[in-house]
Structure 1
Amino acid sequence: MATSLIITTLLPLSLFIIMSGLGLALTVGDFKRVALYPKGATIGLINLILLSPLLGFLIAKLFGLTAALAVGMVLLGASPGGTTANMLTHLARGDTALSVTMTALSSLAAVITTPIFLALASAHFLAGDEALKLDMGPIVVKVLLITLLPLSIGMAIRAFAPAFALRIEPVAKKIATVFFIGVVFVVLGSEYEEIGQHIGVIGPAVLTLNILAMTISYQIARIAKLDSKQSTAIAIELGVHNTTLAMAVGAMVAPELIVPAAVYGVFMFFTAGVFAKIMHRKNSL
């Protein structure tokens, strides 16, 4: 009970801090940049909003995940890109401006798309006695409060006190990182029995989602004739999710739903980091 209370408190608080930090780094120009990169932004968002949740659904089926873990997998796939994707894109010499734009837009869209995919996945995987009676209204409101509100606060500080925002942004990012790591370990610790029972399948499942999402999205971008730097940004955006949002939304419904995102949060930095290192060489040519 105490651990559950910690999770339900720590997850929203961590997400609030993370989204506030993202807001400090954003300006209105980051959203207007869509007009400069219409093809890249459109392909990236379609991948995030449709391809990623669909992959989560297919992998849940392929690996035969339990109903709750399957819903959590789709919820993970439906979560927006994370701010770490911007840093990795920069290190990979990818299109950082496009990455920031996709993170900002997908974070806005997630207020609607994440609850929608949660409802769809629940209706498909959970039936009979396991069926969840989801009241989507309160869930959407909670997601709004822990995503758009702090994002707006951060952007307002950046707009009206830019010098202050730039000064505290690095500190905010460090605090957000500490909270994220803390949340992942608390979740892993609280759900160790569930994870221990299914790690043989949930580990490979989330790793498959991560690698497939980056590979397919990169290939789609290249087929669409986007350059290597834009394709790099899109691929990393698909590989590094805002897993804190997936966990926060999952915790509103059932503890088991947060497991895929927690395990994914451990893997994604290694795989995306390797990809960023490979692309750094290619984009430096």
Structure 2
Amino acid sequence: MDSPLVSVGLPLALAVIMFGLGLSLTVDDFTRVVRHPRTVGVALACQLIVLPAAAFGLVLLFDLPPLLAVGMMLLAASPGGTTANLFSHLFRGDVALNVTLTAVNSVIAVFTLPLITNFAIRYFDPDESGAVGLQFGKAVQVFAIVLIPVIIGMIVRRTSPAFADRMDRSVRIGSAVVLALVVIGTMVAERDNLVSYLADVGAVTTLFCLISLTAGYFVPRLLGVDTRQSIACSMEIGIHNSTIAITIALSVLDSTEMAVPPAVYGVLMFPLAATFGWLITRRHTRESSGTESAPTTA
């Protein structure tokens, strides 16, 4: 896909999305890690260890072709984004924790995303590893399109908080529109292969999303994290920033096939996350009602 949309449009669109993320962040969002070290540590362990391992296992289970397999690993290595914050808000999660996790994950992903992607390329497609791997120069591109716009957005918020507040809603809406256009554009470009790609990765991306949401909620709960923070972890871990994965696949690695899993996931994650959020919220409501109505003994 050698076109201006890929070479210029996608990185620019992602930069706008990450700039919008930066407008919502402050230094305190990073220092909050110190106040909630266990919760953040559990969430990061799920994000950085459990999810790549789950994606790797699913890729082997479904025996995906090499480039689609790399695309799945690229998706697994991508951090959460502002969409996770929105879903957390809708289902009464700890949105402040979401913001913190998004901020920390975005920084860590600059380093872990090239590592996981290069591992996947070498494992699944070793003959092409030298040609399409994320070498140092390409890793710098990842840094430029992921982290620099966030930093600029944070600077704008610090110097002009009123302007950042005014822009926040518009940028969030614009980000959602951009995400939809990116996913639709990728699908349209591959329309001749769309049915076969859905057959290849529809099931695996659905399972990956459900595993991500489930692990993000129940692992923290099992380790004593409260319900609101567990909901936040679930949305952060279960809703990946597929725009990052698509942009890197198309404009950095120059592979349309690698972009297919995150594009399909970008469509499926909305109904899956909404359904999961409704179910855990309903479960929590029932548990709370049961506790309140339980008879007390003398």
Note whether the superposition's TM-score is higher than 0.5: yes
Q: How does 1:17-96 map to 2 (within 5 A)?
A: 17-96=16-95
Task: Write the letter of the residue equivalent to 1:263.
Answer: V
Equivalent residue number for residue 242 of structure 1: 241
- Say if 1:18 and 1:283 are closer, same or farther in 2 by CA, change over 3 A: farther
Is the contact made by 1:93 and 1:279 (CA closer than 8 Å) also made in structure 2?
A: no
1:2-53, Cα deviation, whole Å (9 max, x unpaired)? 6x43223222111101100000001111111111111111111111112112
Match of 1:101 in 2: 100
Task: Indicate the residue corresponding to 2:293 in structure 1.
Answer: none
Q: Tell me which amino acid in the other structure corresponds to 2:136.
A: G
In the alignment, the residues of structure 1 paired with residue 274 and residue 178 of structure 2 have an alpha-carbon distance, to the nearest angstrom, of 20
| C-alpha displacement of 1:135 | 5.0
* Contiguous gaps of at least 5 residues in structure 2: 289-298
Q: Judge conservation of contact 1:56–1:74 (CA < 8 Å) in 2.
A: yes
Pairing 1:222-237 to 2, within 5 Å after superposition: 222-237=221-236
Aligned to 1:275: 276
Identity of aligned residues (%): 37
Residue aligning to 1:216: 215
SS at 1:226 equivalent: coil
Structure 1 contact 79–245 (Cα < 8 Å) conserved = yes
Give the counterpart letter for 2:183 in structure 1. V
Partner in structure 2 of residue 263 of structure 1: 264
Structure 1 CA distance for aligned equivalents of residues 7 and 113 of structure 2: 18
1:158 is displaced (CA, Å) by 0.5
RMSD (Å) for aligned C-alpha atoms: 1.5
Q: Report if aligned partners of 2:117, 2:134 keep a CA contact under 8 Å in 1.
A: no
Q: Is the 8 A contact 2:114 2:134 kept in 1?
A: no
Q: 1:200 maps to what in 2?
A: 199
Equivalent residues in 2 for 1:106-125 (5 A)?
A: 106-125=105-124
Q: 2: CA distance between counterparts of 1:278 and 1:226?
A: 18
| TM-score, length basis structure 1 | 0.95
Q: Which consecutive unaligned segments of at least 5 residues does structure 1 have?
A: none
Which segment drifts farther, 263-272 or 197-206?
Answer: 197-206
Pair member with larger Rg: 2
Secondary structure of 1:65's match? coil
**What letter corresponds to residue 179 of structure 2 in structure 1?**
F
Over 3 Å counting, the alpha-carbon distance change for 1:197 and 1:281 in structure 2 is closer
Contact 2:30 2:104 in 1 (8 A): yes
Is the 2:202–2:264 contact (alpha carbons within 8 Å) kept by the matching residues of 1?
yes
Q: How many residues align?
A: 283
Q: Which amino acid aligns with 2:244?
A: L
- SS of 1:241's partner is coil
More displaced stretch, 224-233 vs 68-77: 224-233
**1: CA distance between counterparts of 2:97 and 2:161?**
22
Shift of 1:163: 0.7
In structure 1, the partner of 2:4 is: 5
TM-score between the two structures when normalised by the length of structure 2: 0.91
Q: Distance in 2 between matches of 1:68 and 1:208?
A: 19
Alignment partner of 1:172 is 2:171 = yes
| Structure 1 residue 282, shift from structure 2 partner | 4.4
Q: Which deviations, in whole Å up to 9, do the C-alpha atoms of 1:172-229 show, x marking residues without a partner?
A: 1111111111111001111223432231130001000000111123221111111111
For 2:144 and 2:123, how far apart are their aligned partners in 1? 28
Distance 2:9 2:105 in 1: 23
* Structure 1 Cα separation of the partners of residues 200 and 134 of structure 2: 30
State whether residues 49 and 106 of structure 1, in contact with CA within 8 Å, keep that contact through their aligned partners in structure 2.
no
CA distance in 1, matches of 2:203, 2:4: 29
1:233-285 deviations in Å (ceiling 9; x for gaps): 11111111010111111112122111000000000011111122233344554
* Secondary structure class of the residue paired with 1:94: coil
In structure 1, what is the Cα distance between the partners aligned to 2:284 and 2:97?
15
Distance 1:19 1:212, change over 3 A: same
Shift in CA distance, 135/64, structure 1 to aligned 2, threshold 3 Å: closer
